[in-house]
Amino acid sequence: MEPMNQQSHLWFLNNINLQNVFPPIINDAKVIFNRYKFDCKKKNMTARVICNINVKEEAIRLNVNDDNVIRKVREIVWRSSSPLDKQMCKEVSNAVISLIRDKFPGRE
């Protein structure tokens, strides 16, 4: 595996629009459920997953395709987010969890 290009991750970090991540730009539970339903079935929908989805959307917008760069920036963005930022993501994740429970009864 190639080492991550330090400049790529710094470029992405410097150019990401955090206003598209906090509050989550994709914040409609139905949109998230329909677009990411494969993920909803496989793993728990958490505030961090909502943040990751929105960082990924920013990567697409900025044409960043390197998964290692995206992963590193996701970690930095989540760790540096405020409790309020995390709470906004939690509210969206709770709405998605509600939809998952409606669609897949008995899933906890």
Q: What is the CATH number of the domain that holds 54?
A: 1.10.30
Question: Is the separation of the CB atoms in 16 and 77 below 8 Å?
Answer: yes
- How far, in Å, CA of 57 to CA of 83, rounded? 22
What pLDDT, on a 0 to 100 scale, did the predictor assign at position 90?
94
- Structural domain tally of the chain? 1
Instruction: Note whether residue 19 is domain-resident.
Output: no
For residue range 41-68, what is the model confidence (pLDDT) as tens digits? 556 788 999 999 999 999 999 999 999 9
Instruction: Note whether residue 92 is domain-resident.
Output: yes
Instruction: Note whether residue 100 is domain-resident.
Output: yes
Question: Is the separation of the CB atoms in 12 and 59 below 8 Å?
Answer: yes
Instruction: Note whether residue 61 is domain-resident.
Output: yes
Instruction: Note whether residue 99 is domain-resident.
Output: yes
- How far, in Å, CA of 13 to CA of 18, rounded? 9
For residue range 89-103, what is the model confidence (pLDDT) as tens digits? 999 999 988 888 887
Residue type, 62: L
The domain of 92 spans 40-108
Instruction: Note whether residue 34 is domain-resident.
Output: no
